[in-house]
Structure 1
Amino acid sequence: MFALSLIFIFGGLKLGLGSFFRLGTGAFPFISGSILAVLAIFVGLHEWRSKGLSHPPDWISFLAIVAAIAIFASTADRLGLVPAVFMSVIIASFPDRSLSLMGKAILGAIVSAACWVLFIRLLNLPFKAFVGM
Structure 2
Amino acid sequence: MPTEPQNHPNQLSEHEEDIGGLGWGGEIGGILLFALSIIFMVGGWQLGLGVPTRLGTGAFPFATGAVLAVFSVLICIAERKGDGLAETPDWIGMGAIAIALAVFAVSVERVGLVPGVFATVIVASMPDRSLSFPGKAFLGIVVALLCWAVFIKLLNLPFKPFVGM
Q: Give yes or no for TM over 0.5.
A: yes
Tell me how far 1:52 sits from its aligned partner.
2.1
TM-score, L = length of structure 1: 0.89
Structure 2 residue aligned with 1:37: 69
Once the two structures are TM-superposed, the CA of residue 17 in structure 1 deviates from its matched residue by 2.9
Provide the residue aligned with 2:30 in structure 1: none
**Structure 1 stretch 31-40 or stretch 41-50: which is displaced more?**
41-50
Tell me the distance in 1 between the aligned counterparts of 2:72 and 2:86: 16
Q: Work out whether 1:50 is the aligned partner of 2:76.
A: no
Q: Unaligned 5+ residue runs, structure 2?
A: 1-32
In the TM superposition, what whole-angstrom CA distance separates every residue of 1:68-117 from its partner, at most 9, and x where no partner exists?
A: 11111111011011110000000111111111111111100111111112
Q: Which moved more, 1:55-64 or 1:75-84?
A: 55-64
Unaligned runs of 5+ in 1: none
Residue in 2 that maps onto 1:16 = 48
1:99 aligns to what?
Answer: 131
- Which of the numbers 89, 99, 113 marks the counterpart of 1:67? 99
- Residue range with higher mean Cα deviation, 19-28 or 85-94: 19-28
Q: What amino acid does structure 1 have at the position aligned with 2:100? A: A
Aligned-partner Cα distance in 1 for 2:146–2:71: 28
Alpha-carbon distance in structure 2 between the residues aligned to 1:123 and 1:24:
16
Aligned-residue offset at 1:23: 3.5
1:21 to partner: Cα distance: 4.2
User: Structure 2 CA distance, aligned partners of 1:125 and 1:52?
Assistant: 45
Aligned residues: 133
Of the three residues 21, 36, 53, the one matched with 1:4 is 36
CA distance in structure 1 between the partners assigned to 2:47 and 2:160 by the alignment: 28
Residue 53 of structure 1, CA deviation: 4.1
